[in-house]
Chain A
Amino acid sequence: MWSFIHKLGSPPWFFRFSGNLVAWLLPLTVALLFAGALWGLLFAPPDFKQGNSYRIIYIHVPAAVVALAGYYVMALAGAISLIWRIKMADIAMKAVAPVGAALTGIALVTGAIWGKPTWGTWWVWDARITSMLILFFLYLGVVALFEAYENKAAAAKACAVLSLVGTVNIPIIYKSVDWWYSLHQPASIKFTGESSIDASMLYPLLAMITAFYGLFALAVLMNMRAELIWHHRQSSWVRQWAGTE
């Protein structure tokens, strides 16, 4: 176990390992994504209240779930980078931020599109959507902070501090937005009420969540590989890989 973790920190080893991982994760994820989407779009029964518009749930919820988890992954990488000063953690953190921002963007856009037929409006200041919007800003902040620093080693450390501060804040933000919403919520409408979901609707959702996790891992690994190659472009293992040595 420890030797595995130790190896993760070695760029040539990680590059080879991640290459293999991407090679089998890519077809698996694409297949699962395709199957889950077809299942949700064509085979699952419609919701008895919302009709067919609820089918957006199969991309909206997975994107939101993975985007939130992604922030914790980023903060964890940041903590590892700050405590043990492992270069690989810096690269991982930088790779997660744009992926997380894109997933949050998907969750927001699909949420807005879902809102139109369901609530009759593109945007509602609902607790979950508002929290998602704030998460989007948190991601953008990390990306922008990284770009603003000239010294990229310092940039990674700064982003690590920011993402850790954000991690402490996220539960507080979610809780406060929740209270805020329940306080201001008009009594007649209730969107956030938890309803039990039928198995025929739940299974495709679980499949899609798994597929989104796979896609997140894929995109992060691929970002890391591109970054690793550039960072070590002068070293012999990269030149060997490119076939020039």
Chain B
Amino acid sequence: MPRADLDTLPLGAAFYRQFLRHGKTLMASPADLLNPLLFFFMVITLFPLGLGPDPQRLSQMAPGILWVVALLASLMVSGKLFASDFEDGSLEQLCLAPHPLAILALAEVLAHWLGTGLLLSLVSPVFAVLLGLPAQALPVLVFSLLLGTLCLTLIGAVGSALTVSIRRGGLLLSLIIIPLHVPVLIFGSTAVIEATLGGNPESWLALLGALVLVSVALGPLAIGAALRISLDNG
């Protein structure tokens, strides 16, 4: 990929180009797209096996289970976010480009989210039905996951950027990222619980929305700084 290409583009076009590039690498390996979904499916299967098949208990626990598994699936893939960019040297080119690194990184994160978080949220009703989540909670589940996975992906991207230069950084990534995921998990699962009880999930969804805004505003700055530091290390 010629570097001059990126330099001469205006910011918007560079953003779009970066977005497409990451999207194409995702599309090039469908296995990577399917892996989180498969992971989701298989872990959901484990819960009835571990907890017993009692439908009432399962449906009571469904919001928490679905949200925790979605969090883990997102965590699992976020480690790969900048890995290929780091290995093939295109990260260095990004740093040298005249555009703010934070914006270009945001393009990659958004493309990554479309391929993982969005997909996961749209497929989640299938798994919710497996666990017997009440039907009235399904829209809230999808919506909370849409907002929540965007947050999870942005926070996970910070962790990924910090650990990309470290060999076998997977466990470290979970250690530094899981505590930061706590509010997302609480707001998301509580929204779904409220929906199953016929309560009012809107305030929790609004909180999730606020988290999205904060992480979109601040996350890219941290990602950009972290990527530059990782280049220094490796």
Contacts and interface: CB of A to CB of B under 8 A. Distances in A.
A and B touch in the complex (CB under 8 A): yes
Interface string B207-234: 1000100100010001001100110110
A165 B180 CA distance: 8
Contact of A144 (B172, B187, B218): B172
A180 B180 contact: no
Interface stretch (A52-60, A117-125, A168-176, A213-221): A168-176
Given A140-B175, A141-B175, A158-B226, A173 B232 contact: no
Nearest to A148: B166
A82 B182 contact: no
A165 B163 contact: no
Interface residues of A, number: 34
Nearest to B176: A141
B48 interface: no
B186, B211, B232 interface centre (most CB from chain A within 10 Å): B186
B182 A145 contact: no
B178 interface: yes
B179 interface: yes
B176 A162 contact: yes
B78 to A, nearest CB: 14
Contacts, number: 89
B15 to A, nearest CB: 23
Main secondary structure of the interface of B (DSSP, over half): helix
B138 interface: no
A154 B230 CA distance: 7
A164 interface: yes
Given A137-B178, A144-B172, A183-B190, A157 B232 contact: yes
Contacts of B187: 176
Contact of B179 (A134, A154, A155): A134
A166 B162 CA distance: 13
Interface string A177-190: 10110010000000
Nearest to A166: B180
B125 interface: no
Interface string A132-150: 0011011011101100111
24 contacts: A138-B179, A141-B172, A141-B175, A142-B176, A144-B175, A148-B163, A149-B165, A149-B233, A150-B233, A151-B232, A154-B230, A158-B226, A158-B229, A161-B158, A162-B158, A162-B176, A164-B222, A165-B222, A169-B183, A175-B183, A176-B182, A176-B187, A179-B186, A180-B186
Interface of A: 82, 134-135, 137-138, 140-142, 144-145, 148-151, 153-155, 157-158, 161-162, 164-166, 168-169, 172-173, 175-177, 179-180, 183
Interface of B: 155, 158, 162-163, 165-166, 169, 172, 175-176, 178-180, 182-183, 186-187, 190, 207, 211, 214, 218, 222, 225-226, 229-230, 232-233
